[in-house]
Every structure is written in C-alpha cells, then in structure tokens.
A and B are shown apart, each in its own frame.
Chain A
Amino acid sequence: MNDGSPTTVPPTALIGVQLRWWEKYKFWLIAAALLVVLPHIPGLSSGYGRSLLSQMGITAVFALSFNLLLGQTGLLSFGHAVYFGLGAYAAIHLLRAVNGGLPIPIPLVPLAGAAAGLVFGIIFGSVTTKKAGTIFALITLGVVELVYAASFMLHGIFGGDEGVSANRTGGPRLLGLTFGPQIQIYYVIAFWAFVSAVLMYAFMRTPVGRLCNAVRDNPERAEFIGYNPQRVRFIVFAVAGMFAGLAGGLLAINYEIVSAESVGALRSAQVLLAAYIGGIGHFIGPIIGAAVLVWLQVNLSDYTSAWLLYFGLFFMAVVLFAPGGLAGLIMMHAPIVRTRAFWGVLASYAVALVPAAIMLVGAVLLIEMNYRLSTQPELGARMKLFWVDLDAATPWPWVTAVVLLAAGFYVFRKTWRFVAAAWTRALDEAKARFAGGTSP
C-alpha cells in the first residue's frame, strides 16, 4: 500500500548529534509562524484569499485523517467523507443550539464534530474494519452510498439538499470577537488544524501508531507477535473518524451551512486525491495535497472551462510520474540538498523546464482551441491564448501548437540526460560525504 516509510527520523539523529529543542521542534514552529502570517500576505489577505486558506486548512485536517488510514495503516477508504459530513452536521446542529442560547463559545463548536466523527467511526468501524484490502474499500463505498441516500430521506436531521444552516455570529462573545469576519474564523481553523496535526503526528508515534505500520506492511507478522490486526485497524479507524469529524466541524463554522454533498462519495474521492497527490508516504504530503487540490479546484475554473480535463490529466500524470506524490518529489532531494552538485541539479531542471513548458503550451493550445470550437462555437474562433490573439479557424495556430508540442517533447526527452547526470554527480558527492563522516 505504501510507497515508502514516513520520514520520521531526521538525518541528523542518525549520526548522533544531540538536538537542541529548536532543532527538534523546528518544523512545528515554522508551521505555526506560517499559519499566523499567511492571511496577511498580499494576495491572500482579501476575504476570498482568507476563505481559500480556511478551506485549505479544513481539507488538510481531513486529508491528514485520511492518511492515518491509507498511508499509515494501508486501508483504502472510499467513504471517509461519512465521518467528515456527520461531524459537520453535528457541529451545525450544535451551532443552531448556540444560536438558540446555549452558552458555548464558537471556537469549541468543532469539537462536536470530532465527537460525532469518533462515535460514528466506532459504530461503522466495528463493521468495516473486520476486513482489510479491497473488501474494506468496497464496504466503505457501500456505507458512503447508504449514508448519502439517508441524508436525503431523513429531512429533519440533514435538511435535504438545501442543508442545515446556522449563524456563527449568534453566540457568546469571546474576548470581544464576533467571529463574523473571515480572519477570526481563519484563526480558529488554523488553531484546530495545528492542534490536530500535532496530535496526529503524536498518535503515529504511540505504540498503536507503530502497530498501524506493522499491520500495513505485514499483518500476519503483527498477529504473530501478539497483536490483533483487526483491533489495530478498528482503533485507527475510530481515531481517523474523529479527526475527519473535527474537519467537518470546522467546515460547519466556516460555511455556516452543511448539505448532503458533505457526506457523499465525491467528497470522499476528493480527499483520496488530495492525500495521494500530496504523497501518502510523508506526514506533510496530505497537507501539500490539500493546498494544491483546493487551489486547483477553486481557481482553475476561472482560467478555463476545460478545467475538469486538466484535472483528470493532472491526476494521471501524478500517478504515472510522481508515485510518491508532490511531497515525494520534494523529499527525494533531501539527501542531496546540501551537496555542491545540488546547484547543478537545479540548473539541469531549469534547462529541462524550458522544453517542458513549450510542450505544455502546445498541449494547452490544442485543448483550448478544441474546447472552444467544440463546446462554445458561438464565441467564435478568435481567441486570446497566452497573450496572443489567434484564429482557431485558420490552420496556423494548430500547426504551431502541434509543432510546439512535438518539438517540446523531443527536446524535453533529450534533457533528461542532463538531469540524470546532475543527479548522479550529486548522489556521488552525498555518498562521499557520508562515507567521509563530514557532518553536514
């Protein structure tokens, strides 16, 4: 199931260097600082930018919880949104009660989602985790379809397609905060996202967390040494459900409305994609994946109406060429990042990037012209692509696009040699250093 073990041991630990606390918690401190600063960076400081960040935070928690299953325990779930969605419903109902006068501060409302996620994780998990592998995957598919259907039938609880809405400003004031402005809600989400990331990271370091890896890699052996794999799967499933529920609770306070789509199969597929694209073999993978996926989903449609096509192509490309996900691509460079030859690697990338970009431009031109002519003929054949006016009714743009694509691809393949050579040099240097015992 997994592409590589999570990078948990920092390379410095291997050579016995005593870490100072700063070194030890560097990652978390930087992450926390980033979370504080991000919504004030120009471009992200608008209401929309902040809601984009909030959405990324929610999806990141959701994807991390999903990765407890897929990355850590090797359980592929097609129905993780069930716990996310039910958590969201629990939180929105609590928020309604708060609107009705229940004195609970808004930042604590998402905990109702976590509780619901845990409860339903225990209920459904006791059934679904009896088996692993494909059977587990398909039971979760069955469960998600059943819950989704139920959400339409039980109108009183789920509110049908229009969903259940509440008002996050209608609660007790905390330190004078109304929780109306997006920035306040962003910080609530960032806080819970940070806390749950730390907790999930810590969970993976507990004996149960370690057992998850054992169950993933070799269930028979785990059983042989006296642990019941089914029990381990059940525990991790419930925990993952709880964090998914927390993410759902964050969704509830962010959008103040929860509808049936939150428990559906599409939402479940989305989290699978986020985790996989980010890289299920690294703790940070799902976070990167969530950010990239949310950004693509929200913004790609502004640039092109063919965004679903690019979306599909992007997944296929990640599966084919970056099996470790984006985090895998980045982490691949960890061993060589401190070598001098690393600059050579970067330079070789720069060289390869040029034909790759040309190739992409050719492909995008072809897709866009095709899409325009076939789905929006009434807009005419004249269009503006890459700041150039062109007429798709004439052959020249097509010839250009094909030439760009073909030539780009041809040259791109040629550049692979440079990249490979640069890599070899960097690896040799890294090996030499390691062997020579020079501490980096």
Chain B
Amino acid sequence: MFSNLRRLGTAGLALVGTVYAGSAMAEVKMAFVEALSGGAASAGLLSQKTVQFFVDRINAAGGLNGEKILLSSYDNKTSAQETLIALKKAIDDGNRYVFQGNGSAFAYAILDAVNKNNERNPGKEVVFLNFAAVDPPLTNEKCSFWHFRFDADVDMKMAALTEAVKGDKNVKKIYLLNQDYSFGRSVAAAAEKMLKEKRPDIQIVGNEFVPLQKVQDFSPYVAKIKASGANGVITGNWGNDMLLLIKAGKDAGYNGVWYTYYAGGLGAPPAIGEAGIGKVKQVSEWHKDVTPELDPAIAAFEKRFPGQENEYGYWRIKTMMEMFAEAAKKAKSNDPIKVAGALEGLTMSTALGPVEMRADNHQLLQPLFVSTMSNKVKHPLQGTKIGFITDRKVDAKATAVPTTCKMQRPS
C-alpha cells in the first residue's frame, strides 16, 4: 500500500531511507530483529536507534570496505515464533548479519535457526551479533561459530557483583530474588556458587523465583526478605519486576543493599527515585558517569535522539559496531565467514580500556563497572536528579570465566 513507508519505518530514519534508496552501489545488508511494537517495546526501539546511529557513522566514514551498510528492522512482536518468521524474512531479503539482544528466549530461537540455516544453505551463512542476551549457555554448551556476544554474560557480571559483596563486610545475609526463567535461574545459580567461593561466611537466607512480569505487588516478597534478616538482595530482575520490587522495598522501609543487573535500565531510575541512593548497586559495562565527560559519540547520539526514552544505555552497541567494522577491515571482505573469522580473538582499545573477543567461545571481554546510585552525579538519569557513580572497575581480562564451549568451525 505504501511501500516507501516500509523503508522509512524499518530503516528507522527518514534520512537514510531517501539517501540510499535506489543507489546501485553494493550494500552490506544487516537485519535488526527485536520487539518494535506494543507497550513493551521500549528496549527494542532504543537499541534500534542505537544500532542505526552507529551504522550511519560507519557509512559516513566510508562504509565497510567501500560498501555501505543497509540496516533493515524486523519486528519480533515479543514472540519466539514471530522472531523466526522475521528472521526468515530477513534472510530472504538478503541479510547476512542479524542483530538481536533483548530477550534470551529470542536469542536461543535465532541461534538455533541460524545454525540450521548455515548447515542447510552453505554459501548463504548468517552471522548473529548479540548485544544483550546474557544467559550463559549461549557461549557455553550452546556456543556457535556464528554467534558473537557483546554483552558480559550472567556469570561474568555476577563475578564482578560478588567482588563488591566481598568488599562489603557489613553484609552477612543475602537474599536471592529472581525471575522464574532461564536468565533468572542462571543469576541465582551463579550467585550461590560465587558467594560460597568468595564469602563463605555469608548466609544465603532465601532463593526466591517470581513469575516473569506477573507480580503486581511485591510487598509480600519484601516482608519475607525482611523477616529473613537479609541485609543484601541480589536480583537480576528487569522491567516492571525490578521497579516494583524496589518500590515495595522503599514502602516497607527496607534498609538493605540491592545488588542488581538492571537498576539503570529504561524507566528504572525515575521509579526507584531518591529511595535508592546509596543502596542500589548495579553491574554494567558502562554508566553515564563512568567518565567525567560524556563520550562524544554518546553526546552526538543524545543530540540526535532527544528525550528521556532515548537516554543512552547501550555502550556495548558502540563497541560491537566498531569491532565489526574493524573485523571487516582486517578481513578485507564483507563476507560473513571471513568477518566472523576476523572477529575471533580481535582486540581493540576503547575509551574505557582494551576489549577482546574471545576466540574460544565468542564472548566479548570488556571492562565491567559496579556502581552505586547517587545524587552527586554529573549526568543525572532520565529526568531525575540521580545517577550512578563507580565503586569499582574490573578490567576486561579479569572478567573472563571458564567456558565449556567446544567451538566447531566451518572447514
């Protein structure tokens, strides 16, 4: 009906749509498969803009080996099945690279389909670039030559987080509260294992699983946490489950420390508010006050995409795109197999320190930061007066954890 709109909507940017439409130049087609519609699409939309932003930067700098990147977006409608349909469509459209991140379930679906596609259609291999799905099996027992992960996985983040717990001598009793699905279970398992190693004196007084995005009132859970006497809670919760949990903690006057993965996520700082100051910690590869001055790329991003819902959260996408461009340059080709080969073991220096793509399991090693919520920040978040300040930095090399991956490379 309005076919041009498709390009507009999917490319994400009117500008790109008109400039590159119809150009006869060879293109590197890359597909972005995420949830882009419905009420729960904010993370998908923000990462879409971020990827588009860095694609435009690469194109402005001359593209990959002289070829421009054409990014097309496909809506997975928050469904594993729709993810597979979207992926099929993307592959049919000639895309040989796929981006995805939000939702480990969809990452598993894509990984499985990519593996099968590459096995069944030699010569049409697809490479999967993952910027946020952090369930450990993706780079362990399910690892694949065709998958690269640019976010630190659950175990690596937990290693950094438990270092912080280790240093906090006041914490004697820890409560684990996680969402009842693969990711949440991985968080709980990692916490249990690592706490035992690093702080055998700490007692784990609870290991709770809540159904994913179903609980409206967390006060019963907080009552339980309080009754257990825990003075620290480790949680991998994200989205509503994160916000409502801390809100309930605030209402009940809970005084313990929250060790989180996603307290800096979209919508979280405004919902947590002042109550989180000094008490909410998170582990991430970046936060807004990680360097005194905002990185110029991020400043440019925020200028182009103003508004709270666009506040930058994906430093790793910058790393991912830069490493990808670097690998293509090193391979002197945009062919997926060659670029994947060049990505293996690739090292690069970033503003936050050196990073390395592990060759043995395709997991990026990057510096990790444990930070605490504070109102003494230079860059407050999402319309609030609060942000995060760094407690400790873990260098890229030190974040590595052993892998069970037996990588099978194409001959």
- Which A residues have a C-beta under 8 Å from some C-beta of B? 46-48, 51-52, 55, 149, 152-153, 155, 160-163, 165, 167, 169, 180-181, 251, 255-257, 259, 261-262, 297-298, 301-308, 368, 377-380, 382-387
Q: How far is the CA of A290 from the CA of B81 in the complex (A)?
A: 16
Kindly list chain A residues whose C-beta atoms are within 8 Å of the C-beta of B135.
Answer: 162
Query: Is A163 in contact with B105, judged by CB distance below 8 angstroms?
Result: yes
19 more A-B contacts (CB under 8 A) besides A163-B109, A301-B36, A384-B17? A51-B85, A152-B211, A161-B105, A161-B182, A161-B212, A163-B80, A165-B108, A169-B116, A257-B108, A259-B80, A301-B37, A301-B77, A303-B2, A303-B9, A304-B9, A305-B75, A382-B14, A383-B8, A383-B14
Query: Is B75 in contact with A301, judged by CB distance below 8 angstroms?
Result: yes
Q: How far is the CA of A383 from the CA of B14 in the complex (A)?
A: 7
Q: How far is the CA of A297 from the CA of B93 in the complex (A)?
A: 18
Query: Is B80 in contact with A257, judged by CB distance below 8 angstroms?
Result: yes
Kindly list chain B residues whose C-beta atoms are within 8 Å of the C-beta of A149.
Answer: 211
Q: Mark B101-121, 1 if CB is under 8 A from A, else 0.
A: 000110011001100100010
Kindly list chain B residues whose C-beta atoms are within 8 Å of the C-beta of A301.
Answer: 36-37, 75, 77
Q: How far is the CA of A301 from the CA of B84 in the complex (A)?
A: 15
Query: Is A305 in contact with B9, judged by CB distance below 8 angstroms?
Result: yes
Q: Chain A's nearest CB lies how many Å from the CB of B92? A: 4
Query: Is B112 in contact with A379, judged by CB distance below 8 angstroms?
Result: no
Query: Is B38 in contact with A387, judged by CB distance below 8 angstroms?
Result: no
Query: Is B14 in contact with A48, judged by CB distance below 8 angstroms?
Result: no
Q: How far is the CA of A382 from the CA of B181 in the complex (A)?
A: 43
Kindly list chain A residues whose C-beta atoms are within 8 Å of the C-beta of B80.
Answer: 161, 163, 257, 259, 261
Kindly list chain A residues whose C-beta atoms are within 8 Å of the C-beta of B93.
Answer: 48
Given the known interface contacts A160-B181, A382-B14, A384-B14, the answer about A261 and B9 at a Cβ–Cβ threshold of 8 Å is no
Query: Is B9 in contact with A162, judged by CB distance below 8 angstroms?
Result: no
Q: Chain A's nearest CB lies how many Å from the CB of B118? A: 12
Query: Is B310 in contact with A378, judged by CB distance below 8 angstroms?
Result: yes
Interface size for chain B: under 10, 10 to 19, 20 to 34, or 35 or more residues?
35 or more
- Which B residues have a C-beta under 8 Å from some C-beta of A? 1-6, 8-10, 12-14, 17-18, 36-38, 49, 74-75, 77, 79-82, 84-85, 88-89, 91-93, 104-105, 108-109, 112-113, 116, 120, 135, 180-182, 185, 211-212, 304-307, 310
The one of B13, B89, B108, B185 in contact with A379, judged by C-beta atoms closer than 8 angstroms, is B13
Kindly list chain A residues whose C-beta atoms are within 8 Å of the C-beta of B181.
Answer: 152, 160-161
Given the known interface contacts A167-B116, A303-B2, the answer about A259 and B12 at a Cβ–Cβ threshold of 8 Å is no
Given the known interface contacts A152-B212, A160-B182, A256-B112, the answer about A307 and B37 at a Cβ–Cβ threshold of 8 Å is yes
The one of A46, A297, A377 in contact with B307, judged by C-beta atoms closer than 8 angstroms, is A377
> Which A-chain residue is minimally distant from B183 (CB atoms)?
A161
Kindly list chain B residues whose C-beta atoms are within 8 Å of the C-beta of A160.
Answer: 181-182, 185
Q: Chain B's nearest CB lies how many Å from the CB of A99? A: 12
Q: How far is the CA of A149 from the CA of B104 in the complex (A)?
A: 19
Interface of A is mostly: helix
Given the known interface contacts A152-B211, A181-B120, the answer about A378 and B307 at a Cβ–Cβ threshold of 8 Å is yes
* Nearest 9 Cβ contacts at the A-B interface: A48-B92, A162-B108, A161-B105, A301-B75, A180-B120, A161-B181, A378-B305, A259-B80, A48-B89
Q: Chain B's nearest CB lies how many Å from the CB of A63? A: 16
Kindly list chain A residues whose C-beta atoms are within 8 Å of the C-beta of B310.
Answer: 378
Kindly list chain B residues whose C-beta atoms are within 8 Å of the C-beta of A386.
Answer: 1-2
The one of B13, B36, B82 in contact with A305, judged by C-beta atoms closer than 8 angstroms, is B36
Q: List 28 contacting pairs A-B, 8 Å CB cutoff, sorted by A.
A: A46-B92, A47-B92, A48-B88, A152-B181, A152-B212, A153-B180, A155-B185, A160-B181, A162-B108, A162-B135, A165-B112, A180-B116, A257-B80, A257-B112, A257-B113, A261-B81, A297-B82, A301-B75, A303-B6, A305-B37, A306-B37, A307-B75, A308-B38, A377-B307, A378-B307, A380-B14, A384-B8, A387-B4
Query: Is B88 in contact with A51, judged by CB distance below 8 angstroms?
Result: yes
Kindly list chain B residues whose C-beta atoms are within 8 Å of the C-beta of A261.
Answer: 79-81
Kindly list chain B residues whose C-beta atoms are within 8 Å of the C-beta of A167.
Answer: 116
Query: Is A308 in contact with B37, judged by CB distance below 8 angstroms?
Result: yes
Given the known interface contacts A161-B104, A163-B105, A261-B80, the answer about A387 and B2 at a Cβ–Cβ threshold of 8 Å is yes
Kindly list chain A residues whose C-beta atoms are within 8 Å of the C-beta of B13.
Answer: 379
Query: Is A255 in contact with B81, judged by CB distance below 8 angstroms?
Result: yes
Q: How far is the CA of A273 from the CA of B409 in the complex (A)?
A: 46
Given the known interface contacts A160-B182, A161-B182, A255-B81, the answer about A384 and B89 at a Cβ–Cβ threshold of 8 Å is no
Q: How far is the CA of A301 from the CA of B9 in the complex (A)?
A: 9
Q: How far is the CA of A163 from the CA of B109 in the complex (A)?
A: 8
Q: How far is the CA of A55 from the CA of B84 in the complex (A)?
A: 11
Query: Is B6 in contact with A162, judged by CB distance below 8 angstroms?
Result: no
> Which A-chain residue is minimally distant from B142 (CB atoms)?
A162
Query: Is A162 in contact with B2, judged by CB distance below 8 angstroms?
Result: no
Q: Chain B's nearest CB lies how many Å from the CB of A334? A: 30
Kindly list chain A residues whose C-beta atoms are within 8 Å of the C-beta of B3.
Answer: 303
Kindly list chain A residues whose C-beta atoms are within 8 Å of the C-beta of B12.
Answer: 379
Q: How far is the CA of A151 from the CA of B75 in the complex (A)?
A: 25
Q: How far is the CA of A426 from the CA of B52 in the complex (A)?
A: 57
Q: Chain A's nearest CB lies how many Å from the CB of B177? A: 16
Q: How far is the CA of A383 from the CA of B211 in the complex (A)?
A: 42
Q: Chain A's nearest CB lies how many Å from the CB of B290? A: 24
Most A CB within 10 A of own CB, among B2, B82, B181:
B2
Kindly list chain B residues whose C-beta atoms are within 8 Å of the C-beta of A380.
Answer: 14
Q: Chain A's nearest CB lies how many Å from the CB of B179? A: 9
Q: How far is the CA of A385 from the CA of B1 in the complex (A)?
A: 10
Q: How far is the CA of A160 from the CA of B212 in the complex (A)?
A: 11
Q: Chain B's nearest CB lies how many Å from the CB of A148? A: 10
Q: How far is the CA of A161 from the CA of B78 in the complex (A)?
A: 12
Q: Chain B's nearest CB lies how many Å from the CB of A265? A: 12
Kindly list chain B residues whose C-beta atoms are within 8 Å of the C-beta of A305.
Answer: 9, 36-37, 75
Q: Chain A's nearest CB lies how many Å from the CB of B29? A: 14
